[in-house]
C-alpha cells in the first residue's frame, strides 16, 4: 500500500533562513509526487508536482523540491523564508488517476522574526 | 475569478439529521473531488467525479452520497449524520479527467453533536 511520511509535525524557522521540509514515500511504481500548502482557514494550494523528467522541480512562491528515488524522498526547500510562508504543508503521492492520491499528515511551519 | 466555492462555511447538526454540502467551480474543470480533513490525518478522499454524470468511491465513502449535478456542481450528502463525521470537508477540482486535484475550496467545518 502506498504511504507518505512527514517526520516533522512542527518546524520553526527564522525569517530569512533556509527551509527544508522532509517527505518520504512508499509506492510500488513510479510515483507522482506533490506538495500542497494550507493557510489557516483555507483550502490547499498546489505548490509543485513531479511526474517524470528532471528530478528538481520548481514551484510557485519560490519553492522547489527534489525527487530522490534511492532515498524515496521528495523534500521541499526554499532558500529564504518569509513570514507569509507560515502555514501547514502536505506532501502527497499517487499514480496516474486521482483515486490513488495519498496525503501525509502535514508539517506546520512557524516563522520567527 | 471565484475558483471553487463551498457552502455552507460552518454547520452544526444533531446526530441523525441530514444535510447537503454544496460545491461549485467556475473554471470549466472536468474532475471534482470531496475530501475530509481530520486532525493529524491529512486529507482522505471520500468521492470523486471524473466528468459530468460519473462518480466513484474514494477511500472513505461510507455514510456519504454524491451528485454531479452538472459540470460546475458536485454535492456531498450526509443522509444520517454521525459524530464520526465531524470534520472539515474540502471540495477540489482539476482540469483533466484523471488529474490530481489542483484547486481547493476553503472548506466546510461540520460539527455533529
Question: What pLDDT, in 10s, does the model give residues B22-36?
Answer: 999 999 999 999 999
- pLDDT score recorded for residue A38: 92
Contact criterion met (CB < 8 Å) for A32 and B100: yes
Instruction: Round to whole Å and give the CA distance between B41 and B83.
Output: 17
- pLDDT score recorded for residue B33: 93
Contact criterion met (CB < 8 Å) for A90 and B42: yes
Residue located via cell numbers 466555492:
B5
- pLDDT score recorded for residue B102: 81
The answer to whether A86 touches A21, Cβ cutoff 8 Å, is no
Contact criterion met (CB < 8 Å) for B107 and A43: yes
A105 neighbourhood in chain B, CB within 8 Å: 40-42
Nearest chain A residue to B39 by CA: give it: A105
pLDDT classification of A98: cutoffs 50, 70, 90: low
The answer to whether B18 touches B78, Cβ cutoff 8 Å, is yes
Burial class of residue B98 (count of CB atoms within 10 Å of its CB; 0-12, 13-18, 19+)? middle
B24 neighbourhood in chain A, CB within 8 Å: none
- pLDDT score recorded for residue A79: 97
B53: cell is: 454524470
Phi/psi-derived region of residue A30, left when phi > 0, alpha when psi is between -120 and 50, beta in every other case: beta
Amino acid at each position: 500500500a502506498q504511504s507518505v511520511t512527514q517526520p516533522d509535525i512542527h518546524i520553526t524557522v527564522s525569517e530569512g533562513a533556509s527551509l527544508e521540509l522532509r517527505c518520504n514515500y512508499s509506492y510500488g511504481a513510479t510515483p507522482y509526487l506533490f506538495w500542497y500548502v494550507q493557510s489557516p482557514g483555507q483550502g490547499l494550494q498546489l505548490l509543485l508536482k513531479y511526474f517524470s523528467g528532471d528530478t528538481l522541480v520548481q514551484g510557485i512562491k519560490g519553492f522547489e523540491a527534489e525527487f530522490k528515488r534511492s532515498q524515496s524522498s521528495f523534500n521541499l526547500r526554499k532558500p529564504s523564508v518569509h513570514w507569509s510562508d507560515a502555514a501547514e504543508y502536505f506532501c502527497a503521492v499517487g499514480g496516474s488517476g486521482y483515486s490513488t492520491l495519498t496525503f501525509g499528515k502535514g508539517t506546520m511551519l512557524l516563522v520567527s522574526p | 475569478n471565484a475558483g471553487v466555492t463551498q457552502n455552507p462555511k460552518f454547520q452544526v447538526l444533531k446526530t441523525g439529521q441530514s444535510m447537503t454540502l454544496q460545491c461549485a467551480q467556475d473554471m470549466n474543470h472536468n474532475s471534482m473531488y470531496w475530501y475530509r480533513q481530520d486532525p493529524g490525518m491529512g486529507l482522505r478522499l471520500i468521492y470523486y467525479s471524473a466528468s459530468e454524470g460519473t462518480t466513484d468511491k474514494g477511500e472513505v465513502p461510507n455514510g456519504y452520497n454524491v451528485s454531479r449535478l452538472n459540470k460546475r456542481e458536485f454535492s456531498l450528502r450526509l443522509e444520517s449524520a454521525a459524530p464520526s463525521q465531524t470534520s472539515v470537508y474540502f471540495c477540489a477540482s482539476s482540469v483533466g479527467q484523471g488529474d490530481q486535484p489542483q484547486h481547493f475550496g476553503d472548506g466546510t467545518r461540520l460539527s455533529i453533536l
